[in-house]
């Protein structure tokens, strides 16, 4: 399935300040796939609106998705804002939240 392939590649994209991948951090809000157009729209957030690595993370997400799909648009939103409750259980354990 394309979505699982995309998720697998997103798990290779890390927030350099936290060293957890963007998917398990809960930064990926939506993965919308158009199989006919071989295109994907990603809606994501960042841990902070002032994230110094924002451009690099967004570029890495784009590159990860286009390794599976022909094209990709990445939209960044802060609604809702990132909250640690969005993280996967594995990420919470690694960061000591559980």
- For residue range 43-96, list pLDDT tens digits in order: 999 999 999 999 999 999 999 999 999 999 999 999 999 999 999 999 999 988
Q: State the DSSP code for 84.
A: G
Residue 17 pLDDT level (bands cut at 50, 70, 90)? confident
pLDDT number for residue 82:
93
pLDDT number for residue 76:
98
Q: What b/e readout covers 58-97, taking b as 16+ CB neighbours within 10 angstroms?
A: bebbbebbbebbeebebebeeeeebeeebbeeebbeeeee
């Amino acid at each position: 399935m394309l979505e699982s392939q995309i998720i697998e590649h997103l798990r290779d994209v890390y927030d350099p300040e936290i060293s957890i991948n963007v998917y398990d951090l809960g930064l990926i809000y939506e993965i919308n796939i158009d199989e006919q157009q071989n295109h994907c729209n990603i809606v994501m957030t960042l841990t902070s609106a002032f994230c110094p690595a924002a451009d690099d993370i967004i570029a890495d997400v784009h590159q990860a998705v286009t390794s599976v799909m022909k094209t990709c648009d990445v939209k960044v939103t802060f609604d809702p804002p990132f909250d640690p409750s969005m993280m996967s259980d594995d990420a919470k354990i690694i960061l000591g939240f559980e």
